[in-house]
Amino acid sequence: MSTFQDLHPVLQEILISGLRWDELRAVQEASLSAVSAGADILVLAPTAGGKTESAFLPVLDAILKRPTGKLSAVYLSPLKALINDQTERIVSMANRAGLEVAVQHGDVKGADRWKFQGGEEPDILLTTPESLEVLLGDKDAKQAFSRLRFVIIDEIHAFIETSRGVHLRCLLDRLSFASAEHIIRIGLSATVGNPEELLSWMSAPERNKQLVRVPSPPAKKAFTFCVNPDFFSRIDAAADAVRGRKSLIFVESRSLAERLVEPLRERLSSVHIHHSAVSPEDRREAEAAFASGREACVICTSTLELGIDIGDLDLVVQFGPPLSVASFLQRLGRTGRRGKPAQMAFILQNPCELLAAVSAVECAMQHKSEDLHPASFAADVLIQQLFLLLKRTAGLGMPQIRASLKALSAFSDIPDETVLQILTYLEEQGYLSRSGDLYLPGTKAEAELGKSHWKALLSVINDTGGYLAVLPDGTVVGTLDARFVAGDPGRVFTFTGKTWRLLHRDDAHRRALIEPSSASRDIKRPFWGGSGGSSGISPLLCFQAAEIIARGHTLLPLPKAEAELLDDLIRSLPDDIVPGKIHLRTEPEVNGWSVVAATFAGETANRVLATVLKSRLSGVHEVRVTPYALRIFGFASPDAGDTIAHALAEIADDPHAFEELPPLPDTFWKFGAYLPPAVKKEMTDIRYYRTVDIRALLQNRYF
């Protein structure tokens, strides 16, 4: 095991004089030892557990011991805000060691951007995948990255299940192609259920790799629960909980955040809002609110789950049920630092939401968290990488195209015949053209993707068509959904807790001109649509709920009122529910019978089953879905449960069972319009509907 004394003397002095360290934490020693041995590592440590130093100490040590005078390390973050938050900390350590750090992302102005030509090269680059794509597209990229030795990926769990994660994998491979050095990959992650799979995804089969996991020390945690069906009573409860404290109120949607901000500002003195549609300036203001004053409340979505440092908090409020154990743990980790108990208040609407909250806490007690699985069959990202490849060259032959795409490990699960099918389709549709044996971007690709120097290819993040909301003086307020700003100007609406009037919609530049309004009537509330929307409560939480129902009680010492609510809910359910099995129950209705299929499989799986059942069963006119179950209406006989059991068994064995699932719009995947319909259908079934998982669920569960 490497120790403090093994570090370069300059680094030892920096740690002693700057941070007053004379020894390393266990996670930092383990990281230093593994990286020194040439291993890729995935570091799992609790919030404020020293993950950043665990990544950078081995890197700084290696650069000091073997300087090259060229770029040696790239730090990749999913968020520009996280880079901004980490920059001072990283630059301070690096500069004391005589090393230079460059920052490159969309908010960095042109004069401050790192350019390959001229000037000294930085030792470390802090950037996002999208800005790294810009750099790798430069003609001098191979020289600039020729001595790269380290890639650090922060909050890697935020990438793995998305197209952005596939893009990241492509970038890692392309960096390896550009560098003459062996590049060590260092991932930093929150708690996940399957860290070994995450490490394997980040690394490669032939590479040496090691998981560095430091368990959280036992710490006190305090939970309170409020269950009330009345919305404004829940607002009162939230206000009472946070008054006089520094707190975050987490919600699961931007729309709900906007709904909370005005009534909470009527009850509290310092309330801010933080979500992805709010302008960066307003988000920074919300983050800075904790740096001054004793009382501050920020209403936020998952934008404040990741590792942006907002200092010590007194309390985290979960308004509504948590949707996953991982999210719950991230949010809980925002409080309870410096030896204080972690405190979370749940503000809930009904006993079912209470069941979800209790399930999350029980999972955490039992050290359970969701497994994360890499996005597979990423044909959408293959389109991006194909056109980037052709843009970088003066045309390529089919063998070179197929070899270049095959060299990217992210596409190893896409068969050669599918790649050929995609290329043929692109040529037929005019997106590819041929000059002899060479393929080039076609006229349609030039028209649709070639604008602004092919800027659309730099990111796989899907632009859902938002309009930038700006004041007459050019100040950016945030982003509004295109559907919300449609129609005649003049509508009055609330946004960021203030009232505005829509003056004009500029479709060409996708801008909505707004101004402050003093109106008090006919005020609208904004809404946003996502590329996929929330998938609801996770299957792991649903399974834990089934375990609670099966045992008849929770393991938590709930207050009397909440315990009685949960007991009443459990008593209202069948007493023969078995976790892992589908439970069918037939119930009488005014006109016939319905069947409740309790799957405890999550909302996505249940919606897929509802769609397939409706297409297979005549007479079924309605299916209602929750994360825990689906209720099927329209039966004339009390034997309807047998009908559903037979139908589910057929679905499990029928290879064509999911053909009737509706296609997604081309805009759902950023490059979806460039895929053959059959390929897009296969990708949708695998990645959106997750039909492989649903078939396995049916085959492994008994009725």
Give phi and psi for 512, each to the nearest 5. Answer: -115, 115
Which region among 37-46, 472-481, 533-542 has the lowest average model confidence (pLDDT)? 533-542
Between CA 405 and CA 503 the distance in angstroms is: 48
More reliable by pLDDT, 232 or 294: 232
Query: pLDDT tens for residues 619-650?
Result: 888 999 999 999 999 999 999 999 999 999 99
Average pLDDT over residues 49-65: 90
Contact 94, 123 (CB under 8 A): yes
More reliable by pLDDT, 432 or 120: 432
* pLDDT at 535 > cutoff 80: no
Between CA 409 and CA 270 the distance in angstroms is: 49
Between CA 82 and CA 310 the distance in angstroms is: 11
* pLDDT at 432 > cutoff 70: yes
Choose the most confident range, by mean pLDDT, from 78-92, 282-296, 300-314, 413-427: 413-427
Fold of the CATH domain 4-213: Rossmann fold (3.40.50)
* Confidence at residue 532, expressed as pLDDT on a 0 to 100 scale: 44
Instruction: Give the CA dihedral 213, 206, 55, 104, nearest 10 degrees.
Output: -140
* pLDDT at 1 > cutoff 80: no
Neighbours of 331 (CB within 10 A): 23
Give phi and psi for 477, each to the nearest 5. Answer: -95, -35
Question: Which superfamily does CATH assign the domain made up of 221-365 to?
Answer: P-loop containing nucleotide triphosphate hydrolases (3.40.50.300)
- Residue 702 confidence class, pLDDT cut points 50, 70, 90: low
* Confidence at residue 531, expressed as pLDDT on a 0 to 100 scale: 46
Q: Structural domain boundaries of the chain?
A: 4-213, 221-365, 379-458, 467-524, 574-700
Asked whether this chain's domains 4-213 and 379-458 adopt the same fold, the reply is: no
Average pLDDT over residues 539-558: 97
Cβ neighbours of residue 71 under 8 Å, at least 6 residues apart? 121, 122, 123, 124, 125, 144, 145, 147, 148
Choose the most confident range, by mean pLDDT, from 16-20, 41-45, 111-115, 292-296: 41-45
| pTM, full prediction | 0.92
Of all residues in the chain, the percent with pLDDT exceeding 70 is 96
* pLDDT at 354 > cutoff 50: yes
* Confidence at residue 262, expressed as pLDDT on a 0 to 100 scale: 94
Query: pLDDT tens for residues 475-504?
Result: 999 999 998 998 778 999 999 989 999 999
Average pLDDT over residues 407-418: 96
pLDDT averaged over every residue in the chain: 92
Asked if the 379-458 domain carries CATH number 3.40.50.300, the reply is no
* Confidence at residue 108, expressed as pLDDT on a 0 to 100 scale: 76
Classify the phi-psi angles of 60: left when phi > 0, otherwise alpha if psi is within -120 to 50, otherwise beta. Answer: alpha
Average pLDDT over residues 545-565: 96
Between CA 30 and CA 54 the distance in angstroms is: 8
Query: Which residue, 90, 107, 85, 27, is CA-closest to 56?
Result: 90
* pLDDT at 533 > cutoff 60: no
* pLDDT at 117 > cutoff 70: no
* pLDDT at 261 > cutoff 50: yes
Query: Which residue, 182, 211, 214, 207, is CA-closest to 199?
Result: 211
Between CA 2 and CA 36 the distance in angstroms is: 8
Classify the phi-psi angles of 600: left when phi > 0, otherwise alpha if psi is within -120 to 50, otherwise beta. Answer: left
Average pLDDT over residues 395-424: 95
